[in-house]
Amino acid sequence: MKILVCISHVPDTTSKINFTDNNSAFDTTGVQYVINPYDEFALSRAMWFKEKQGATVTVITVGNATTEPTLRKCLAIGADDAIRINTEALDGFQVAKELAEVAKANAYDLILTGRESIDYNGAMVPGMLAALLDFNFINACVGVEIESGAVTASKEIDGGTETLATTLPAVIAGQKGLVEEKDLRIPNMRGIMMARKKPLAIVEPQTIEVATKAINFEKPAEKSACKLVDASNIDGLIDLLHNEAKVI
Amino acid sequence: MSVLVFAEASEGKFKKIAFEAVSYGKKVAEQLGVSLVALTINADNAAELAAYGAAKIIKVNNEVLKSFDAKITANIIQQVAEKEASQVVVIDSSSNGLYLAPLVAVNLNAGFASNVMAAPSSTTPFVVKRKAFSNKAFNNTEINTEVKVIGLAKNSFGIFENNTTASEEDFSPEIIASGVSSVGVNKASGKVTIADAEIVVSGGRGLKGPENWGLIEDLAEVLDAALACSKPVSDLGWRPHGEHVGQTGKPVASNLYIAIGISGAIQHVAGINASKVKVVINTDPEAPFFKVADYGIVGDAFEVVPELIEKLKAFKAQNS
């Protein structure tokens, strides 16, 4: 089985969110980048398939050279090789089109990725990629098993889970549950040493007409301070929620 | 020309987000000076959508569609969008909406903006405001394509009545083959879900153990709220994973979020930030949750919550 894991290179959750150039660009000063947490579940599940059932695992991202440490980290976790599509995409559609082109050329059986990235939270790329490739698609996946090309997956739905059956080739966009949190893979020293020698291919982008672009960013208005209510004044809290906030 | 809204019915009934999507579509249609078309599948009472501004309601009724399939539904939306010459297609952010919207965008070769929270600030160029960075920022996105797909964020635009005389049309779409089939659904019945709840009551490690969850359940019951918990609580196995809210858990965009014994780690807040009003009850006045909450009580949950439950019961009795 040939598995492609799509990785988003995102600011760590604790990063300060600021903008530069007249609020037109994200300020990367002092920002630590990590593997998108949702993609970590996808990569860890891919490693499980590699070890238990035999598979090759390729990781891919769309971005400039600054994303390479994130790809090397994926290689250290155990991916066999990495691909970087050398462009800074302006929207999810562009990312999906770039990924689709590489996926078509390499005939992957399974594409695993996170259901969304934690920066733009757009949740656009997995479905778009599946539609562009005409692959079967399962979103919000919380568990997946594959036996001779037959896929059984559980998907989170509002208020529960649904079990779905499909076949390869497929795109599966997942989250916690693909593996448990405790089973997330982290690089060990041997992995880090080996990662240096693993192939990281740089692919030049296609020319894509961009469908959407972020013009500028805004930050929410400064929140007013938390109104503290004394523990002996529960009536006061109920009054505030009813008359001021109007939520009960 | 038209604006098309996919108004999803769940077991025949519309949820509030369907009305919100129609309200939003009405606004966009007014801005563009075109009419609003709503598409429904297997809805018991499609006519309800006229109250929110739908001028034409397209009804699809087909047994095959009883079980949701993203690919088939996305294709039906495409068929209707093409038939109605829709320049904007609005889809809500339910789990089904999130599943199918990217497929619709590819089908229509449309620019797609998800997490949209407000009506377009301009229609030429077409600019919408979106949530980003877990609600720590917004971005104004220009959509350049002829057809545009908008994923509307939950509980962001609001529901507006706009009584319209609507025409209704039955439509029999072509049903394409799907490669995915549903084997079974596991859903707790009768419980308020986090996705639909107006109020979410959430407990953290401050509750000391799963045996104390009766407090949280009682409070949720009085408020008709959904139950949630922090990540450590689900990791410790005190509560099922389905209740974990926060980053990597379920997102919450309720009107009211009550955090009890939750310190407010940044990953937790990232997932619940879209809630309109946040209340914290915690013994530690230094807990980071107080920085993001609107109302707070510094106090012991085991003393505060039982009293809150009693007083809310009295309040409900008076106000119902």
Q: Express each pLDDT in A232-243 by its tens digit.
A: 999 999 999 999
Nearest-angstrom CA–CA distance, A111 and A118: 19
Q: Tokens 């929140």 correspond to what residue?
A: A223
Distance between A161 CA and the closest CA of chain B, angstroms: 5
| Number of cross-chain residue pairs from A and B with Cβ atoms under 8 Å apart | 260
Specify the CATH number for the domain of residue B285: 3.40.50.1220
C-beta neighbour count of B219 within 10 angstroms: 23
B305 within a domain of the structure (yes/no)? yes
Whether residues B152 and B11 fall in one domain: yes
pLDDT over threshold 90, residue B207? yes
User: B42-81 burial by CB neighbour count: b if 16+ within 10 A, else e?
Assistant: bbeebebbbbbbbbbbbbbeeeebeebbbbbbbbbbbbbb
Whether residues B119 and B36 fall in one domain: yes
Whether residues B150 and B111 fall in one domain: yes
For A43-78, the pLDDT digits (tens) are 999 999 999 999 999 999 999 999 999 999 999 999
B175 within a domain of the structure (yes/no)? no
**What does the pLDDT read at residue B118?**
97
Contact A127 B103 (CB under 8 A): yes
How many domains, in total, are found in chain B? 2
* Tokens linked to B86: 């829709």
Chosen for mutation from B122, B154, B294 (greatest number of chain A CBs closer than 10 Å) is B294
DSSP, collapsed to helix, strand or coil, labels residue B35 as strand
Whether residues B239 and B155 fall in one domain: no
C-beta neighbour count of A143 within 10 angstroms: 16
**What does the pLDDT read at residue A222?**
83
**What does the pLDDT read at residue A226?**
97
Mean pLDDT of B180-188: 92
Whether residues B106 and B251 fall in one domain: no
Residues 215-234 of A with CB under 8 A from B: 215-220, 223-224, 226-231, 234
For B247-303, the pLDDT digits (tens) are 888 999 999 999 999 999 999 999 999 999 999 999 999 999 999 999 999 999 999
Chain B partners within 8 Å of A160 (Cβ): 185-188, 242
pLDDT over threshold 90, residue A245? yes
pLDDT over threshold 90, residue B239? yes
Whether residues B122 and B217 fall in one domain: no
Whether residues B117 and B257 fall in one domain: no
Average pLDDT, chain A: 96
**What does the pLDDT read at residue B248?**
85
How many domains, in total, are found in chain A? 1
A46 within 8 A of A5, measured Cβ to Cβ: yes
Question: CA separation (Å) from B13 to B45, B68, B212?
Answer: 8, 14, 35
Sign of the four-CA dihedral A154, A156, A158, A164: negative
**What does the pLDDT read at residue A115?**
97
Whether residues B86 and B203 fall in one domain: no
Helix axis angle, B301-319 to B214-223, nearest 10°: 20
Distance between A197 CA and the closest CA of chain B, angstroms: 32
Specify the CATH number for the domain of residue B49: 3.40.50.620
**What does the pLDDT read at residue A60?**
98
Specify the CATH number for the domain of residue A87: 3.40.50.620
Which chain A residue lies closest to B303 (C-alpha atoms)?
Answer: A231
Q: Which of these three, B170, B191, B214, is where a domain ends?
A: B170
Q: Which of B115, B140, B198 sits opposite A122 (nearest CB)?
A: B115
Contact A228 B291 (CB under 8 A): no
| DSSP H or E segment with residue A131 | helix A125-133
Residues B257, B259, B265: CA angle, nearest 5 degrees? 110
Contact of B236 with chain A, judged by CB distance below 8 Å, is answered with: no
Contact of A20 with chain B, judged by CB distance below 8 Å, is answered with: no
Whether residues B115 and B153 fall in one domain: yes
B22 within 8 A of B7, measured Cβ to Cβ: yes
Mean pLDDT of B112-117: 98
pLDDT over threshold 90, residue B304? yes
Instruction: Check residue B143 and give left, alpha or beta (phi > 0: left; psi -120 to 50: alpha).
Output: beta
B133 within a domain of the structure (yes/no)? yes
Q: Which of these three, B153, B170, B187, is where a domain ends?
A: B170
Domain residue limits at B286: 199-319
**What does the pLDDT read at residue B188?**
78
Q: Which of B99, B106, B223 sits opposite A132 (nearest CB)?
A: B106
Domain residue limits at A104: 2-244
Whether residues B18 and B153 fall in one domain: yes
Whether residues B22 and B136 fall in one domain: yes
C-beta neighbour count of A54 within 10 angstroms: 8
pTM, whole model, 2 decimals? 0.95
Q: Which of A123, A132, A227 sits opposite B295 (nearest CB)?
A: A227
Chain A partners within 8 Å of B98 (Cβ): 123, 139-140
Contact B181 A164 (CB under 8 A): yes
Beta-bridged to residue B298, according to DSSP, are B282
Give the list of residues 6+ apart from residue A239 with CB closer than 8 angstroms, or none. Answer: none
DSSP, collapsed to helix, strand or coil, labels residue A186 as coil
Residues 131-170 of B with CB under 8 A from A: 131-145, 151
Q: What is the DSSP string of B186-204?
A: EE-TTPPPTTT-SEEEEE-
Contact B297 A229 (CB under 8 A): yes
B189 within a domain of the structure (yes/no)? no
DSSP, collapsed to helix, strand or coil, labels residue A62 as strand
